Structure 1
Amino acid sequence: MGSKREKALSRQMRKVILVICEGETEENYVTLLRKWYKSPIRVISRVEGSKITPSLVENRTRELKISPHDNVQTYLMYDMDVEAINAKLRECKAELLLSNPCFELWLLLHSKDHKSAINADSVIKELKNSTSVWKNYNKASFSDTQKAFLKDKTEIAMERAMRLKEFENPSTEVYKLIIKLIDSKKES
């Protein structure tokens, strides 16, 4: 049985999830996750993969800590289309949420099970043709219909993503963040 001091410290400890990403689509999606899971997610977007460094990740993580007891879990959500950037991402102390070739593959997996190699332009074309929900897909924002579709089909997208081979084309690890959010919600 823990002491009163340990209990007080655990109550004061905040759990914060930091997601660093490059694109607007990723930022919009993570914002949806924050709303759906009512989770303390902070997003730092528009950080180009070429500018990512271990010190940048450590500094951003440290900035979020209010007390030394805070638990900040950092995730890097990037596309795997540039090998030099992939190497930089792997040097950072953070969980990688990489998509190969691009984040839109994660969106596509909500509509269909895609297993063959594909380039980023073709993923977007496939997405727009996969179902009427995505016909007018715009990277800058999701329509209300698209938001509802994503929420409704998350579980099947996760199952499809887990069956893909990590880091290969196609693959996406976005599901790992959702698993973390589900687990965190159970702990609360």
Structure 2
Amino acid sequence: MKVSTETRLGRNGRGARKERSSFLILCEGKTEKDYFAGMRSRRGPQIDVDVPKGDHLSVVREAVSRVSNEYDAVWCVLDTELDETLTAAMLREARRGPVELGLSTPCFEFWLILHHVDCARPFQSAEDAKRKLREIVPSWSESNTRFADFTDGIDAACRRAQKLSPDSGEPLKNPSTGVWQLVARLRSGSEAR
């Protein structure tokens, strides 16, 4: 009788844990960073959030330079500033990556508004949207964004944002936000590649 001295070091399917997906999110400010840092959880995907120095295009270029096998997806969360030329340049630059864009018109604070109320009225500026957010969440400030103030409204925000721009084809539609697509991926833990 022949005795096998070979051992199987590989894991069997039983009890094997699914590997967490990983996301790199580059954004332009503290508000966005605090929001996405608040989404981290032990069971969800790995989320690395960074705020590189520079303008919008510099942030996208930084994201392109950081695309690697380390991350399943690299995203930039940026405001359009209601600027058609800037938005077109960000979209062109992101295609080099590939980098996904979560653009908000006029600004990220519109995404936060959607956690609490349905809002389809256009904003004159980012400051106009920030004023509206402070009316809804009086404790909110750009230097103090607490994810807990928004967590209960995530599903509603995703529905409202998708309803405003179902095909995501108009990044400059005022108001609109594509952040819901990133949040949906983070919540499902699915890989983007």
TM normalised by structure 1 equals: 0.76
Which residue is 2:161 aligned to? 161
Query: 2:152 matched to 1:149?
Result: no
Q: Secondary structure at the match of 1:35?
A: coil
Alpha-carbon contact 1:80-1:102 (below 8 Å) kept: yes
Corresponding residue of 1:46: 52
RMSD: 2.8
Deviations 1:44-85 (A, max 9, x none): 21342032454x3232123xx4xxxx5530111000113333
After superposition, residues 104-123 of structure 1 pair within 5 angstroms as: 104-118=109-123, 119-123=125-129
CA distance in 2, matches of 1:114, 1:106: 10
Tell me whether 1:139 sits opposite 2:145 in the alignment.
Answer: no
2:103 counterpart residue number: 98
- For 1:71 and 1:50, locate their aligned partners in 2 and report how far apart those are by CA, in whole Å: 21
Equivalences for 1:29-44 in 2 at 5 Å?
Answer: 29-35=35-41, 38-44=44-50
More helix, by proportion: 1
Q: Which runs of 5+ in 1 are unaligned?
A: none
Q: Structure 1's 19 and 71: CA in aligned 2 closer, same or farther, altered over 3 A? A: closer
Tell me, what secondary structure is at the counterpart of 1:141?
coil
d(CA) in 2 for partners of 1:15, 1:178: 14
Structure exhibiting the larger radius of gyration computed from Cα positions: 2
Matches within 5 A, 1:9-24: 15-24=21-30
Alpha-carbon distance between aligned partners in 1 of 2:86 and 2:44, rounded to the nearest angstrom: 31
Which residue identity lines up with residue 163 of structure 2 in the other structure? R
Q: Which amino acid aligns with 1:158?
A: C
**Under a length normalisation based on structure 2, what TM-score does the superposition of the two structures give?**
0.75
Task: State the percentage of identical aligned residues.
Answer: 27
Figure out how many residues of one structure are paired with residues of the other and give that number. 167
- Following the alignment from structure 1 to structure 2, what is the Cα–Cα distance between the partners of residues 123 and 36? 33
